[in-house]
Chain A
Amino acid sequence: MSMQFWVVQAFNGLSYGALLFLLGSGLSLIFGVMRIVNLSHGSYFLLGGYVALSVIWTTGSWVLAIPVAALAIAFIGLLMERIFLRPLGFDPLRQVLLTVGFAFLFQQAALDIWSGNNFDITPPAALTRSVEAGGMYFPLYRAFMIATALVIGLGLWLAMEKTRIGAAVRATVDDAQMARGVGIDTSRISMFIFALGAFLAALGGVIGGGFLGVYPGLDFEILPLAFAVVIIGGMGSLGGAAIGALMVGLADNFGKALFPEVSYFTLYAPMALILAIKPTGLFGRE
């Protein structure tokens, strides 16, 4: 296998990992703060793509579609958290099932509104070109994905480390009870984080729409990958999510290229092993 193969595959894996980071970081934060296994996270991703399509169809603006879609889905997430998840209290099973119930409702709604067709989100022409380097072609859109994930990741990291609300979030991840004890409003933190998670997932959905497409079933297709990211990286840890996303992105690409018959197995088996050996993930705290 040539050098070219490795470089191209690594680049592809990296860009896929960037997309997974957008999806996984929110899921990880939600789990860290609320201990909720959110099975409607894939729906946020898919709905983000659909809402962006509508915005593009009506206004023709891809740039506008990104914030509108992400904010709309963040609002849906916020409502879900406030109206339905909060009153349930801490009961992992009921929370999981409730998020599944919503995933089904979202699925049907998407089918009704946007039909069952496959769509692509076409980015501006400037991003659809490829750049040649060393005899290899690199699609600019994939580079854009990586850049977006870097900017978002950096922003999240700064927010977590440098702001008061970030400190409150970290305290809640560490020990929610203790955080409540020192006067942190964990209920508002939960609301904020749930909305942020939905925002990030929808953002991933819009950007992924130019790469994976937007189609019914994408929600449950992408969801297990998001869980792989979260579990490998460790729940509630941003850095963990970044490394998890990178590992899953690369493993997925190289797996499919090198041993296609067992490629998903090589992704999920390590995930199960990590869970069995260190349930808090590679980078999660005890």
Chain B
Amino acid sequence: MSERAMTSNQTKILAVLAALVAVAIVVPNTNSFLILLATRALAFSILVMSLDILLGYTGLASLGQAAYLGVGAYLTAILATKYQFGLGYDFWLVLLFGIMVGGALAAVFGLLAIRASGVYFLMITLALGQCVWGLAYRWNSLTGGDNGINLRQRPKFGAIDLSNEVAFFFLVFVIFCISLGLMYTLVRSPFGRSLAGIRERELRMKILGYNTWLHKYIAFIIAGAFGGLSGVLWAHTAGIVSPINIELTNSVDALLMAVLGGAGTLVGGVIGSFIVFGLREYLSTLVPWWQYVLGIIYVLTILFLPTGLMGIPERIRQRRARNGNAGKPKQLAPAATS
């Protein structure tokens, strides 16, 4: 059984790697519309994965995750337009600053939010997200208010101009892959496993010697830092940063993408992100009723697929196992006591 678990894990990793290679090969050879769509989905899915660390692994459903994308994006836009900073090799510094500002904001917000749980955590993260939105919306002199900030150019590294869609796609793709790798390592690490323990039974974790508050707080900061990172990429992907990026609906979108793909799987959020961006930006050009499709997909997923799309193989396997050898669990039970 342990060998099977091992190989199934390796199969999954191989499948993800294969999918990534396929994306890297196929996407640049399509048209500019699809390249931009994929770039958007990848940049946003870093935020969705960061949310999944909280939602799927720690059991904390945040309704304000867009705030971290927002601060990263506004930082990038303000530095670029007001100080001409981050448009050359100093872009890497902006990337670092984005991570730091996302993490720092989460460090402040976490102090308020982490004590709460369940519905109260939902509400407090909503309130905190709205604080950031309110500042972005109203603080005209800094944020441009309702209109937001237009970024007129993307960074250039010597001969490489990121205004070129393919070059920019690869930048986002590489940063996405690194983020995925880091977050995957995190969730498989002792710390990541401790988060799963907290999700399952926080009281037991305390009794086992874990300072569960600290673990949740650290996870919250890490999620915020990745949110900030995704914001830096988002600013240059979209070319405009405005309060819409921090609106409640954007946080809700991230949450739904994570759940649609399958919470607690990381890549599920990426799949969710691609599906939603695909529907929203591709289907919307074809038919006017695309939002019904999206709404119905959400409702059906929540009603019938609580484990998301990534949970489908597991459900099929369980169904097969139940039909195949129904007597097996009964055989196991006496073995425990003999």
Interface residues of A (CB under 8 A from B): 31, 35, 37, 39, 84, 87-88, 92-94, 96-98, 100-102, 104-105, 107-108, 111-112, 220, 223-224, 227-228, 231, 260-265, 267-269, 271-273, 275-276, 279
Complex: A260 Cα to B126 Cα, angstroms? 21
Q: When A92-B61, A102-B299, A272-B112 are in contact, do A231 and B292 touch as well, CB less than 8 Å? A: no
B134 touches A97 (CB 8 A): no
B119 at interface, CB cutoff 8 A: yes
Closest Cβ–Cβ distance, residue A4 to chain B (whole Å): 25
Q: Which residue of B119, B140, B298 is within 8 Å of A101 (Cβ)?
A: B298
A-B pairs with beta carbons under 8 Å apart, 24 shown: A31-B119, A37-B122, A87-B303, A88-B303, A93-B259, A97-B298, A98-B303, A100-B298, A101-B295, A108-B292, A112-B288, A224-B130, A261-B138, A263-B134, A263-B138, A264-B130, A264-B135, A267-B130, A268-B131, A272-B113, A273-B112, A275-B124, A275-B127, A279-B120
| Docked-complex contact A261 and B139, CB < 8 angstroms | yes
A276 to B298, CA, bound (A): 31
CB pair B256 A92 closer than 8 Å: no
> Assuming A97-B302, A275-B123, is B138 touching A108 (CB within 8 A)?
no
Q: Which one, B9-17, B34-42, B167-175, B245-253, is touching chain A?
A: B245-253
Instruction: Tell me if A92 and B113 are in contact (CB < 8 A).
Output: no
Q: Which residue of A lies closest to B244 (CB)?
A: A217
Q: Which chain A positions have C-beta within 8 A of B255?
A: 97, 100
- Contacting residues, chain A, for B124 (C-beta < 8 A): 272, 275-276, 279
Give chain B nearest CB distance to A95 CB in angstroms: 9
Assuming A108-B295, A272-B112, is B126 touching A265 (CB within 8 A)? no
Fill in one digit per residue for B115-133: 1 if any A CB lies within 8 Å of its CB, else 0: 1101110111011101101
**Least Cβ distance of A234 to chain B in Å?**
12
* Nearest-CB residue, chain B, relative to A35: B119
> Chain B contacts of A228 at CB under 8 A?
127, 130
Q: Is the CB of A104 within 8 A of B134?
A: no
Residues on A with C-beta less than 8 A from B63 are 96
Query: What is the CA–CA distance of A31 and B141 in the complex, to the nearest angstrom?
Result: 38
The complex places the Cα of A92 from the Cα of B117 at a distance, in Å, of: 11
| B197 on the A face (CB < 8 A) | no
User: B256 near A100 (CB under 8 angstroms)?
Assistant: yes
8 new A-B contacts at CB < 8 Å, known A96-B122, A263-B134: A37-B122, A39-B252, A101-B296, A220-B247, A220-B249, A264-B138, A276-B111, A279-B116
Q: Are A227 and B131 within 8 A (Cβ)?
A: no
Decide: B289 and A108 in contact? CB cutoff 8 A: yes
Task: Please name all residues of chain A whose beta carbon is closer than 8 Å to the beta carbon of B249 when the two chains form the complex.
Answer: 220
The A-contacting residues of B in range 159-177, CB under 8 angstroms, are: none
Residues of A within 8 A of B295 (CB): 101-102, 104-105, 108
Residues of chain A lying within 8 A (CB to CB) of residue B23: none
Q: State the CA gap A101–B252 with chains docked (Å).
A: 10
List, in ascending order, chain A residues with CB within 8 A of B139's CB.
261-262
**Contacting pair A92 B134 (CB below 8 A):** no
For the complex, give the distance between the alpha carbons of A203 and B214 in Å: 45
B residues bordering A, Cβ < 8 Å? 55, 61, 63, 109, 111-113, 115-116, 118-120, 122-124, 126-128, 130-131, 133-135, 137-141, 247-249, 252, 255-256, 259, 288-289, 291-292, 294-296, 298-299, 302-303, 306
Chain A contacts for B299, CB-based, 8 A: 84, 98, 101-102, 105
Chain A residues contacting B126 (CB-CB under 8 Å) are: 224, 227
**A276 close to B131 (CB less than 8 A):** no
B290 (CB) vs chain A CBs: closest residue:
A108
- Closest Cβ of chain B: how far from A32's Cβ, in Å? 12
Task: Give min CB distance, B39 to chain A, whole Å.
Answer: 24
CB-CB < 8 A to A231: which residues of B?
Answer: 123, 127
CB of B334, distance to nearest CB on chain A (Å) = 33
Shortest C-beta distance, B52 to chain A (Å), equals: 13
Q: Which are the 9 A-B pairs with shortest beta-carbon distances?
A: A264-B134, A101-B298, A105-B295, A108-B291, A276-B112, A272-B127, A104-B295, A101-B299, A268-B130
Q: How long is the Cα–Cα vector from A39 to B299 in the complex, in angstroms?
A: 13
Asked if residues B127 and A220 are in contact (CB atoms below 8 Å), the reply is: no
With CB as the reference atom, state the residue of chain A lying closest to B143: A261
Given contacts A100-B298, A105-B296, A93 and B130 within 8 Å (CB-CB)? no
Determine the distance from Cα of A97 to Cα of B138 in the docked complex, in whole angstroms. 29
Given contacts A97-B298, A102-B299, A276-B116, contact A260 B138 (CB under 8 A): yes
A157 to B68, CA, bound (A): 41
Report chain B residues within 8 Å CB of A227.
123, 126-127
Cα A196 to Cα B177 with chains together (Å)? 49
Which chain A residues lie closer than 8 Å to B298 at the CB level? 97-98, 100-101, 104
Instruction: Indicate if the CB atoms of A265 and B140 lie closer than 8 Å.
Output: no
**Assembled-state Cα–Cα distance A53/B296 (Å):** 27
A230 nearest in chain B by CB position:
B123
Contact A262 B302 (CB under 8 A): no
Supposing A97-B298, A104-B298 touch, asked if A264 and B115 sit within 8 A by C-beta, the answer is: no
A203 to chain B, nearest CB (A): 23
Q: Verify A267–B134 contact, CB threshold 8 A.
A: yes
- If A100-B256, A105-B292, A276-B112 touch, whether A265 touches B306 (CB-CB below 8 Å) is no
Contact in complex: B248, A223 (CB < 8 Å): yes
- Contact residues in B for A260 (Cβ distance below 8 Å): 138
Q: Residues of A contacting B259 with CB < 8 Å?
A: 93, 97
Q: Chain A contacts of B292 at CB under 8 A?
A: 105, 108
